[in-house]
Structure 1
């Protein structure tokens, strides 16, 4: 079995400066310029889909809420966008370089190990899901396994594939280069500064599966905490005047570097991107299996969140339905 070498492990000193957990304020839709009729229609549609919780937030205030917004739900692949935020901080602090290759970082995997060609993939390639490394990975869906290209079929940087190997290896790289536990880091660097009300370090876990040494890292979030994360990105990485995530990183993460096989969606750094001609510039989606979504629409200063507990899932909670609903909400938003 190939080992994953730790070349340099620099411990970052964290200075937690938690924001006081201020509960979300609500705005009356009509007074905020929304059509009450259309808000009620949206509520009826959400009630029909019956997720665990749903929120519309504009200008930092709740326009609509449905369900238990404090209930913590495992948000599946939304985890990737959460990790992406931590990368923005670590890159700005000089602890991770986007141009470092897997060979530079000593990253390998179980047999069959990575080839010299695969090890030329850079951190940036992984963030864009363009590594060209098609090794088996933890937490793959049946679709990922079925569609995974053959080893060596695409050179690093040349082909987009939604690849759990990339996403899991990024977490390994983050832990090695910063010396931090991923969930403790998220709690202290993001959750505390933006005043998340429910997230705790124990709401994350590592999942390792036999084919790979790189674990997946599921997160559980409440809808109201997910909305705070979305608001952080809508506000360019700022929270109450503090730059939590670099503004340049927010822009880079939500820029489309690839056209994908998911309709009109593009892909940035661990975020799906949405059509600018429909949603305005910088619109993006953190998306997870089973109906987990954090949508940001900066042109309308809008965040839309849906979370779905395992027992609440149904076939209607698919991404295409959420995006169609988001399109209507965006058009309605003042």
Structure 2
């Protein structure tokens, strides 16, 4: 029996374990019947074979904490691993999903990216500086606002924050949950709908999510830190795969344009170049993987010299949550690692680290030439 150093320590652990148990029993069942993605009946002409996929399964089993993975090739399921219907936290993948939700409203003019946040009432209890209020919505959704204010939730790059008011909006990139949370607030304010209502209307229903229930979605608030809550999103791996496929389709689904194609192209175009991202994360130009940053999507500029990854991009979330699109191979990868609260709060190890996820993708894609070059 574990003996704790103090009554307080024991109480904290008890409360955390209660919350973990509570979390595991509060998933609500899907509210409407979605549509399953078609599966490939044969691997012929796919560039894959059974031996390769069996080796991938063995690699994941031996090295990873992966709990769910779906690989789509040319819009159909090529490979599945784990429980792909399990609903869990997608961490910072939420930001890429939010970016998609913006597209319709930017296109129809209900959101003006050049509007300054001060003009639409964005402020904090302790006040924003006049220069900070000059940031545009475009600065917010590219994480270049120059507002170095603490966020309601952790998990952002606070070590690269500067003194408030020291840079002009748009000049400096730092991965900031304050920006991302404000981006969610702006979408709600300008549309009159919650993020989750927008997600249901724009994605869940038209894509035929199989595991969607609005009640599973919940925000995290901490008004002592910031007015703007984190809009956490909970999805299944197979529903995440549909999101990736919609991106690969440039916003089209079953003959309908759900998201403007020009918005897909815009959001997956570099705003913050590789050298700046490398500087923030202490990478060098010799690192095996190189990213730039767009509108809440990470863009793969280089991965081990493999030509297939040119033009690839990814939603990335703490602990092993990913939606990766590889256009040259017509591939979409949705990957999940369900995290308990101890891991999510940084109190225990767990999850699938970035380097291991990209090793999984290397195992999947290999060093072959792109489909276009093979043909």
Give the stretch that moved more between structures: 54-63 or 308-317: 308-317
Find the aligned partners of 1:116 and 1:149 in 2 and give their Cα distance: 16
Find the aligned partners of 1:273 and 1:50 in 2 and give their Cα distance: 24
Match of 1:187 in 2: 200
Q: Which of the numbers 271, 292, 297 marks the counterpart of 1:266?
A: 292
Find the aligned partners of 2:267 and 2:338 in 1 and give their Cα distance: 27
Do the aligned partners of 1:29 and 1:35 also contact (CA within 8 Å) in 2? no
Q: How far did 1:38 drift? A: 1.6
Cα deviation code 1:237-270 (max 9, x no counterpart): 1101110011011111111111313441111001
What secondary structure, in the 3-state scheme, does the structure 1 residue paired with 2:106 have? helix
Match of 1:157 in 2: 170
Find the aligned partners of 1:203 and 1:298 in 2 and give their Cα distance: 31
1:283 lines up with 2:312 in the alignment: yes
Q: Which of the numbers 88, 98, 119 marks the counterpart of 2:113?
A: 98
Find the aligned partners of 1:294 and 1:272 in 2 and give their Cα distance: 10
Do the aligned partners of 1:205 and 1:218 also contact (CA within 8 Å) in 2? yes
Give the stretch that moved more between structures: 276-285 or 92-101: 276-285
1:306 lines up with 2:335 in the alignment: yes
- Superposed counterparts of 1:164-313, under 5 Å: 164-209=177-222, 210-258=224-272, 259=274, 260=277, 261-262=280-281, 263=283, 264-275=290-301, 278=306, 279-311=308-340
Q: How far did 1:301 drift? A: 1.1
Q: Which of the numbers 52, 76, 82 marks the counterpart of 1:61?
A: 76
Q: How far did 1:39 drift? A: 1.2
Find the aligned partners of 2:340 and 2:186 in 1 and give their Cα distance: 34
Match of 1:107 in 2: 122
- Superposed counterparts of 1:25-174, under 5 Å: 25-28=38-41, 30-31=43-44, 32-48=46-62, 49-111=64-126, 113-141=127-155, 144-174=157-187
Do the aligned partners of 2:319 and 2:351 also contact (CA within 8 Å) in 1? no
Do the aligned partners of 2:65 and 2:351 also contact (CA within 8 Å) in 1? no
Give the stretch that moved more between structures: 215-224 or 202-211: 202-211
Find the aligned partners of 2:340 and 2:149 in 1 and give their Cα distance: 32
Find the aligned partners of 1:138 and 1:120 in 2 and give their Cα distance: 22
Find the aligned partners of 2:326 and 2:246 in 1 and give their Cα distance: 12
Cα deviation code 1:34-72 (max 9, x no counterpart): 132221111111122131101111111111111000000
Find the aligned partners of 1:211 and 1:171 in 2 and give their Cα distance: 17
Do the aligned partners of 2:69 and 2:334 also contact (CA within 8 Å) in 1? yes
| Closer, same or farther: CA 163–214 of 1 in aligned 2, 3 Å | same
Find the aligned partners of 2:203 and 2:37 in 1 and give their Cα distance: 17
Q: How far did 1:114 drift? A: 0.8
Do the aligned partners of 1:295 and 1:303 also contact (CA within 8 Å) in 2? yes
Find the aligned partners of 1:20 and 1:248 in 2 and give their Cα distance: 31
Find the aligned partners of 1:282 and 1:178 in 2 and give their Cα distance: 32
Q: How far did 1:280 drift? A: 4.4
Cα deviation code 1:134-166 (max 9, x no counterpart): 01111122x633443221232211111000010
What secondary structure, in the 3-state scheme, does the structure 2 residue paired with 1:189 have? helix
Do the aligned partners of 2:60 and 2:360 also contact (CA within 8 Å) in 1? no
Find the aligned partners of 1:198 and 1:252 in 2 and give their Cα distance: 29
Which segments of 5 or more consecutive residues in structure 2 lack a partner in the other structure? Answer: 1-31, 284-289, 344-348
The structure with the largest alpha-carbon Rg is: 2
What secondary structure, in the 3-state scheme, does the structure 2 residue paired with 1:114 have? coil
Cα deviation code 1:194-219 (max 9, x no counterpart): 11111221222121112110111000
Find the aligned partners of 2:128 and 2:89 in 1 and give their Cα distance: 31
Q: How far did 1:315 drift? A: 4.9
Q: How far did 1:28 drift? A: 4.6
What secondary structure, in the 3-state scheme, does the structure 2 residue paired with 1:218 have? coil
Paired residues, number: 314
Q: How far did 1:29 drift? A: 5.7
